[in-house]
């Protein structure tokens, strides 16, 4: 443990943090400081950098709330980030150093939000073994609906019928740089009516993020007679096209806009991507499943990938002392 130095992130670490992400095997653009800082007013940042002999070997995007640290509540996924050549024994030692640092800082627990395997550039589940040894407690499990685009996938008859409706109705799809139509005419009204909720990203925030990450954040709208009837916002990483937002006009069932849109995205626009991720259909910390939403995603050929969340007592750093034999 003495070989490793852990420090809190500060603005002077901006360049070294982002340079490290570019070489990691389990990082996406969500961990870039420009992305993390769009909502810095909502979270007390407690991100960590881990050094060995002054060389950066791991980072942990995180925030603090009371005596708890989370790997980061403002991000869809997280966890310890490290390079391709990092060995399992090193991840053990690094995470032990993180737990020790947090414990010395008065933090009782860390909530680790893992990175689903589809986002790994190479296998990177070392942290899952380490969490097991550290007696991490599984506190939440979400189910992602994912299509493996390298394999043949079966689309249901009902989705094909929806696509034919859209063709008959002469719908057309357009990628947009402006989010205003989708946000104000489709997404915000639907979330308010169905869930009394608002999008995680405001229109101003998603527009700013688009400027910062133009190749990673995409907006696809569907039009009927030049009027928007549906759309989706896609967060694109090297391996995954992830649907961040999906919404359509309530009376759209007769048009087939989303069937049309997703057939285009899956079979054409992202056909060469490794995975297509519809996201979760869960509520109540993973304990409830929206069956209708899950079925809709599965009818495109999607199946399940698991996304786990763990709670670890920081005092458990001692459990990692004698793992290696």
Cα–Cα distance, 105 to 108 (Å, whole number): 9
> Does residue 278 form part of some domain?
no
Angle subtended at Cα 237 by Cα 195 and Cα 216, rounded to the nearest 5 degrees? 75
The confidence score (pLDDT) of residue 200 equals 93
> Does residue 107 form part of some domain?
yes
In this structure, the answer to whether residues 33 and 81 fall within a common structural domain is: yes
> Does residue 75 form part of some domain?
yes
The confidence score (pLDDT) of residue 48 equals 98
The pLDDT of residue 311 is above 60: yes
Give the tens place of pLDDT for each residue, 39-81. 888 899 999 999 999 999 999 999 999 999 999 999 999 999 9
The pLDDT of residue 163 is above 60: yes
Counting beta carbons within 10 angstroms of the beta carbon of residue 321, is it exposed (0 to 12), middle (13 to 18) or buried (19 or more)? exposed
Give the tens place of pLDDT for each residue, 90-114. 999 999 999 999 999 999 999 999 9
The confidence score (pLDDT) of residue 2 equals 53
Give the tens place of pLDDT for each residue, 213-252. 999 999 999 999 999 999 999 999 999 999 999 999 977 6
Euclidean distance between the first and the last CA atom of the chain, given in angstroms as a whole number: 17
> Does residue 301 form part of some domain?
no
Centre a 10 Å sphere on the Cβ of residue 191 and count the other Cβ atoms it contains.
Answer: 16
The confidence score (pLDDT) of residue 195 equals 84
Give the distance, in angstroms, between the CA of residue 140 and the centroid of all CA atoms in the same chain: 15
In this structure, the answer to whether residues 128 and 171 fall within a common structural domain is: no
CA atoms in the 13 A half-sphere facing the CB of 187: 22
The confidence score (pLDDT) of residue 284 equals 95
In this structure, the answer to whether residues 110 and 200 fall within a common structural domain is: no
Query: Given CA atoms 185, 39, 118, 271 in this order, what sign does their dihedral have?
Result: positive
Helix (H) or strand (E) holding 293: helix 291-298
Cα–Cα distance, 225 to 206 (Å, whole number): 27
Domain count of the fold of the chain? 2
Give the tens place of pLDDT for each residue, 116-127. 999 999 999 999
In this structure, the answer to whether residues 119 and 183 fall within a common structural domain is: no
Supply the CATH number for residue 16's domain.
3.40.630.30
- What is the residue-averaged pLDDT of the chain? 96
Q: What's the pTM value of the predicted model, to 2 decimals? A: 0.94
The confidence score (pLDDT) of residue 252 equals 66
In this structure, the answer to whether residues 227 and 129 fall within a common structural domain is: no
> Does residue 295 form part of some domain?
no
* Cβ neighbours of residue 324 closer than 8 Å, sequence gap 6 or more: 89, 92
In this structure, the answer to whether residues 33 and 114 fall within a common structural domain is: yes
The pLDDT of residue 12 is above 60: yes
In this structure, the answer to whether residues 12 and 132 fall within a common structural domain is: yes
Average pLDDT over residues 27-48: 94
- For every residue of 196-218, DSSP letters joined together read S---SS-HHHHHHHHHH-TTTEE
Give the tens place of pLDDT for each residue, 168-223. 999 999 999 999 999 999 999 999 988 889 999 999 999 999 999 999 999 999 99
Cα–Cα distance, 280 to 294 (Å, whole number): 8
In this structure, the answer to whether residues 161 and 201 fall within a common structural domain is: yes
> Does residue 279 form part of some domain?
no
Average pLDDT over residues 284-303: 96
**Range(s) of the domain holding residue 106:** 4-141+308-320
The confidence score (pLDDT) of residue 40 equals 86
In this structure, the answer to whether residues 223 and 247 fall within a common structural domain is: yes
The pLDDT of residue 253 is above 90: no
> Does residue 76 form part of some domain?
yes
> Does residue 325 form part of some domain?
no
The confidence score (pLDDT) of residue 39 equals 83
In this structure, the answer to whether residues 10 and 137 fall within a common structural domain is: yes
Average pLDDT over residues 3-32: 97
The pLDDT of residue 1 is above 60: no
In this structure, the answer to whether residues 223 and 134 fall within a common structural domain is: no
In this structure, the answer to whether residues 134 and 166 fall within a common structural domain is: no
């Amino acid at each position: 443990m003495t070989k490793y130095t852990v420090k809190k992130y500060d603005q002077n670490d901006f360049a070294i943090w982002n340079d490290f992400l570019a070489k990691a095997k389990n990082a996406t653009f969500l961990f870039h400081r420009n992305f993390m800082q769009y909502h810095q007013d909502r979270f007390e940042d407690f991100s960590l950098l881990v050094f060995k002999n002054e060389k950066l070997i791991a980072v942990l995007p995180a925030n603090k709330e009371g005596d708890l640290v989370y790997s980061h509540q403002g991000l869809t996924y997280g966890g310890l980030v490290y390079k391709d050549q990092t060995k399992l024994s090193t991840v053990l030692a690094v995470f032990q150093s993180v737990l020790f640092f947090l414990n010395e800082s008065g933090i009782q627990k860390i909530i680790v939000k893992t990175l689903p395997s589809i986002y790994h550039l190479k296998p990177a589940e070392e942290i899952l073994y380490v969490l097991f040894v550290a007696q991490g407690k599984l506190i939440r499990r979400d189910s992602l609906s994912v299509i493996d685009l390298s394999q043949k996938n079966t689309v249901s008859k009902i989705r094909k019928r929806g696509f034919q409706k859209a063709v008959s109705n002469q719908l057309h799809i357009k990628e947009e740089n402006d989010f205003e139509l989708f946000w104000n005419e489709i997404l915000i009204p639907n979330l308010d009516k169905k869930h009394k909720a608002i999008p995680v990203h405001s229109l101003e925030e998603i527009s700013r993020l688009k400027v910062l990450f133009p190749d990673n954040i995409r907006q696809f709208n569907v039009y009927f007679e030049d009027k928007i009837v549906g759309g989706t916002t896609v967060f694109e990483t090297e391996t995954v096209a992830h649907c961040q937002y999906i919404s359509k006009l309530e009376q759209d069932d007769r048009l087939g806009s989303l069937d049309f849109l997703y057939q285009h995205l899956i079979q054409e626009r992202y056909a060469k991507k490794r995975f297509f991720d519809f996201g979760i259909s869960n509520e109540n910390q993973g304990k409830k499943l929206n069956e209708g939403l899950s079925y809709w995603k599965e009818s495109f050929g999607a199946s399940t990938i698991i996304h786990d969340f763990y709670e670890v007592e920081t005092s458990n750093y001692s459990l990692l002392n004698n793992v290696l034999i």
